[in-house]
């Protein structure tokens, strides 16, 4: 979809065992949103909204959205673009300020129903740790959702699939965890990017950091990490079945194949579905058979 392939994955829906779309990510400055040197792949309305998100700043002269952050544009597509996700890095706490919320509504089309939902879900005692890290739009430029960082644990979720996963993620490292919120959807998705290049290894679920010369470094292949990760999702997190795990492994077509997951939950915190990301390109390195 972009001129070059930076990060590309095929995305599968587990319940139907079918390909949903392709996910492609690129630095914003290497796209038509930032430079006329690149092909125009967005509709005029979508391109305008992408620019609005990239240029967004607070009303208050004493606050500023960081410009040092590397910004990305992600597209999800089949024959045409279905969804666009743009890095934003907005402090969640800012939306509790009336004029900042009005500014976000007018500039980014963030409406009250989704604002109320994710503000409720995040710990406002530590607002600096909660970010709207990206905004999701369709190819008509309409905001359809948000991706946030930080997670708040509520004891009432303990006995649900959602609560059990949050508890497990609280024990784990080597992962980037995001919440995806959709307009008009009381549920949430948890997207997890596994750190396959981490310089540490989990043994029996216990993280072992390489923090001294006396700890012997053990080379662990991507295949070993991937297979272990799938087993963790199946056995420890209990998000997939044995049959699911077998099918996911059937997608693997080379030793360095990386697999990531997105877990979709209903409003009552029951598991709705699982999305499987099969990485084909990582930082320009193509891994296709």
The model's pLDDT over 124-183, given as tens digits with 9 standing for 90+, comes to 454 446 788 899 999 999 999 989 876 666 677 788 998 888 888 877 655 788 889 888
Q: Is residue 244 part of a domain?
A: yes
Beta-carbon contacts of 174 under 8 Å, excluding residues fewer than 6 positions away, are 194, 195, 198, 200, 202, 207
4, 121, 240 from 285: Cα distances, Å: 11, 37, 29
Flag whether 195 is in a domain: yes
Rounded to the nearest integer, the mean pLDDT of the chain is 84
Asked if residue 239 is part of any domain, the answer here is yes
What is the structure's pLDDT at 175?
A: 74
Look at residue 207 in the predicted model and tell me its pLDDT: 46
- For residue 90, being part of any structural domain is answered with yes
Which spans in 148-221 are helix H? Answer: 161-171
Widest Cα–Cα separation across the chain: 58
pLDDT tens across 61-118, in order?
777 787 767 899 999 999 999 999 999 888 877 777 778 888 888 888 876 666 666 5
Residue 210 pLDDT grade (very low, low, confident, very high; cuts 50, 70, 90)? very low
Residue with tokens 């992600």: 74
Whether residue 89 is contained in a domain is answered as yes
Give, as one character, the DSSP assignment of residue 78: S
Q: How many CB atoms lie within 10 A of CB 241?
A: 11
Q: What pLDDT does residue 259 have?
A: 96
Is 1 inside a domain boundary? no
**Tokens encoding 80:** 């045409």
**DSSP single-letter state for residue 240:** S
CA angle 122, 125, 131 (to 5 degrees): 45
| Rounded CA separation 185/99 (Å) | 26
Residue 33 lies inside a defined structural domain of this protein: yes
Q: Positive or negative CA dihedral for 12, 15, 17, 19?
A: negative
When divided into structural domains, the chain yields a total of 1
Burial of 220: CB neighbours in 10 Å, binned 0-12, 13-18, 19+? middle
- Range of the structural domain that residue 259 is part of: 7-286
DSSP bridge pairs for 275: 13, 262
Tokens standing for residue 55: 């240029």
Strand, coil or helix: what is 5? coil
In a domain, 2, yes or no: no
Is residue 105 within 8 A of residue 143, CB to CB? The reply is no
Global pTM?
A: 0.88
90 in Cβ contact with 97 (< 8 Å): no
Tokens 């390909």 belong to residue: 19
């Amino acid at each position: 979809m972009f001129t070059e392939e930076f990060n590309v994955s095929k995305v599968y829906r587990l319940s139907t065992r079918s390909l949903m779309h392709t996910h492609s990510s690129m630095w914003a400055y290497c796209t038509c949103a930032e430079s006329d040197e690149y092909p125009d792949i967005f509709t005029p309305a979508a391109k305008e909204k992408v620019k609005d998100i990239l240029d967004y700043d607070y009303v208050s002269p004493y606050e500023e959205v960081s410009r040092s952050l590397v910004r990305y544009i992600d597209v999800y597509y089949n024959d045409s673009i279905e969804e666009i996700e743009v890095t934003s890095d907005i402090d969640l706490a800012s939306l509790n300020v009336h004029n900042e919320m009005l500014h976000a509504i007018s500039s980014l089309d963030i409406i009250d129903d989704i604002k109320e939902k994710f503000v409720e879900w995040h710990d406002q005692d530590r607002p600096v740790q909660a970010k709207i890290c990206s905004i999701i739009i369709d190819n008509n430029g309409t905001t359809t959702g948000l991706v946030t960082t930080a997670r708040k644990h509520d004891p009432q979720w303990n006995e649900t699939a959602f609560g059990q996963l949050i508890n497990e993620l609280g024990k784990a490292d080597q992962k980037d965890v995001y919440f995806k919120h959709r307009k008009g959807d009381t549920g949430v998705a948890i997207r997890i990017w596994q750190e396959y290049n981490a310089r540490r290894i989990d043994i029996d679920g216990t993280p072992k950091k390489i923090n001294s010369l006396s700890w012997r470094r053990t080379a662990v292949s991507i295949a070993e990490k991937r297979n272990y990760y799938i087993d963790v999702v199946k056995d420890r997190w209990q998000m997939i079945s044995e049959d699911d795990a077998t099918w996911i492994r059937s997608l693997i077509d080379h030793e360095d194949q990386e697999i990531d997951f997105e877990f979709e939950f209903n409003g009552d915190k029951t598991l709705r579905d699982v999305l499987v990301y099969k990485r084909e390109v990582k930082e320009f390195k193509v891994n296709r058979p």
